[in-house]
Amino acid sequence: MAREGLATGLGTQASMAVRFLSAGDRALVVEFGDRVDPELSEEVLRLDARLRLKPLPGVVETVPTFRSLTLYYDPLATSRTHLEPAVRALLGRRGHERRNARLWHIPICYEAPFAPDLDEVAHLLGLAPEEVASRHSAPQYRVYMIGFLPGFPYLGDLPPSLALPRRADPRVKVPAGSVAIATNLSAIYPYESPGGWHLIGATPIPLFDPARSPPALLAAGDGVRFAPIEAAAFRAIREAAAAGGHQIASEATRE
């Protein structure tokens, strides 16, 4: 059973307790809460940025999630006993350590054959397919975390009117670029893979390229806006992207 510790003094949410959890003998989880929330996400990313600016001895990698930050470390170089007080000392600090987040404008096609579940989703929600597409492309989404697959972004928050549970019959193959929804989130599949989310569109933009630096296009803390396009434009952008001739629009959102 993982040992736990508590810390307080988080400024905007001073009453919120932070838990420290051991994940084996090579990782320490710093857990900020128990829900998907932008403020919790900011706390996670602030701590991650502080640790990147001034790495702790023995820490080899940090991985942010919706509500926690995992510190992977070399057990021959450090331990939880040394790391926990060092992390506690960083929690109450205020500053501008967060990296420059970007707002990405990602093209999406809601037409057949790129949206195999759109009609079913519309029926389940009591909306027209065009209204589902309109509501999905209206908000600015937050990239809460990257996971499941390399470059796979978990995007929140989906409009409540589009909330649905995952599919009862997951697919064995979801095409690369598929844009999907489930619960209160949206996501983009960077590779062909199994998946149980509802596929309501697709983007021609590659989200992960090992030859690119960094390989993942999106990062936790970034923003995403979907820009609807027609099928002809989808194919043209996909061809240009494959040839390295398409630049996705983005802008800095934080100094």
The pair of structure tokens assigned to 59 is 């820490």
- pLDDT for 13 equals 41
Question: For the chain, how big is the Rg over CA atoms in Å?
Answer: 20
Cis peptide before 214 (omega within 30 of 0): yes
- pLDDT for 63 equals 94
Q: How far apart are CA 112 and CA 213, in angstroms?
A: 33
**pTM for the complete prediction?**
0.86
Are 136 and 227 in contact by the 8 Å Cβ rule? The answer is no
Q: How many CA atoms lie within 13 A of 79 on its CB side?
A: 2
pLDDT tens-digit profile, the chain (255 residues): 333 333 333 334 433 589 999 999 999 999 999 889 999 999 999 999 999 998 999 999 999 999 999 999 999 999 999 999 999 999 876 665 656 789 999 999 999 999 999 999 999 999 999 999 999 999 999 999 999 999 999 999 999 999 999 999 999 999 999 999 999 999 999 999 999 999 999 999 999 999 888 899 999 999 999 999 999 999 999 999 988 878 888 888 754
- pLDDT for 88 equals 93
